[in-house]
Structure 1
């Protein structure tokens, strides 16, 4: 049975004071029945790693370069993430795709680099409002996820987490209804099943898009939604913990 998994993407938000206060509260109050991961900005990874030492809360990075080292000023490799205490990394987040023109090929390369280093890739997929209104949701999702499904073997894919994040619902206050989200999650799980039935059964598929404490219970109750990739609400301890413990 898949355990509830809640991941907090802090995006470009943090300070030393905020990090210490937020992580202290999460570590103290995170429910044991939920797997919790936080993704702070890169400059705070070492401090976060120290703060999470000995706790069940896991640490992840927000982005990696697919190369392991070299003349890539400003970039961070997967092995550096490991060295900072990370166990996971986001790849293919919609903000990386839209603001920095990352392609499906880039997502595959970063996913491979993460796996090779021993990181868990959180592979993000999702459609824009224009694509949804044009009834292209499934076509967009299939193209994005197939870039990974066709590029990796089942053993590699089994180490990935998948996150459906409708771009139109990220930071807008709009949320896909539980029924809308479940429909897309079921479609994603069907694509995983076409690759391998066991893969589909065991893979976590998270929902990301204005997840809050007051809508998490209904979203997570859906058959194919295994938790959330949380943005703004992960910056407030009470709100984030309410998502982690929706019951």
Structure 2
């Protein structure tokens, strides 16, 4: 049966954003070796240097300092996979947004489905973390996604509600700051069949329209993101939030090249 066509291509926002979170897959030495290879491969990449393709890397907390050093003279930005929902205090084992910002981090991931499922993070915690991140000048990589498989219209409504809830504590000034929405349907995580291209395109476009009043916001897709996905989505997303496929530096570079080609065609 033929798949439904992808909706018409809207004007694409710039730049194309590509990010990767290592979760807890990489060890310390492996993290640094991957980052060194990426720094060598992409430090002079024209589309990265001129800003048409924006890159960020989210390593585990113990590796953030050396990763910042590796990427210090490159356009690649670094961030944390999490932060605590209070600015500071007696919270043993937690990491503050203030410390991430002081170190030189630019991004921080907030509200991933795994944090919700494994650690009980609810909408109140996600809103508090988003506010703390924005309050320290960090760009939240706000993860959203619908729990149940259904029509794109319902997914859009669910994800719009999640975005509005996450920004509920933000001040008007904070709402104008850069924000990355990472869309991944929760029902597709670990599933045998990923979300269809028309579903991804429709939902991401619906979220982009919802964020029209936030010119510094972008919508990237994070589910089973791999080669040719950007091209097959025909500009319906502002980038990708990559996972295990990009653990190979050469694979990450290939997607950067794909993004550069798309950026050059617009």
For the aligned pair, the TM-score class normalised by the smaller chain equals 0.7 to 0.9
Match of 1:242? 254
**CA distance in 2: counterparts of 1:245 and 1:173, whole angstroms:** 28
Deviation at 1:172, TM superposition (A): 4.4
Asked if 1:146 corresponds to 2:164, the answer is yes
Deviation at 1:8, TM superposition (A): 0.4
Note if contact 1:34-1:245 (Cα within 8 Å) is conserved in structure 2. no
Deviation at 1:105, TM superposition (A): 1.4
Query: 3-state SS of the aligned residue for 2:88?
Result: coil
Gaps of 5+ in 1: none
Residues 74-153 of structure 1 aligned to structure 2 (within 5 Å): 74-128=93-147, 131-133=148-150, 136-153=154-171
Asked if 1:6 corresponds to 2:26, the answer is no
Note if contact 1:8-1:37 (Cα within 8 Å) is conserved in structure 2. yes
Change (3 A) 1:142 1:170: same
TM-score where L is the length of structure 2? 0.82
Residue-by-residue CA offset, 1:156-199 (whole Å, 9 max, x unaligned): 23321111111233354643232211100122123223xx2xx2
Match of 1:17? 29
Change (3 A) 1:69 1:235: same
Query: 3-state SS of the aligned residue for 2:68?
Result: helix
Change (3 A) 1:161 1:170: same
Deviation at 1:84, TM superposition (A): 2.8
Residues 35-46 of structure 1 aligned to structure 2 (within 5 Å): 35-46=54-65
TM-score where L is the length of structure 1? 0.88
Residues 208-247 of structure 1 aligned to structure 2 (within 5 Å): 208-219=222-233, 221-223=234-236, 225-246=237-258, 247=261
**What do you get for the CA RMSD once the two structures are aligned?**
2.0
**CA distance in 2: counterparts of 1:140 and 1:87, whole angstroms:** 28
Match of 1:157? 175
Match of 2:194? 175
Residue-by-residue CA offset, 1:183-241 (whole Å, 9 max, x unaligned): 00122123223xx2xx2x5421000101012433223x233x00011121232211122
Gaps of 5+ in 2: 1-12, 262-266
Change (3 A) 1:83 1:149: closer
**CA distance in 2: counterparts of 1:145 and 1:132, whole angstroms:** 19
Query: 3-state SS of the aligned residue for 2:211?
Result: helix
Match of 2:38? 26
Query: 3-state SS of the aligned residue for 2:82?
Result: coil
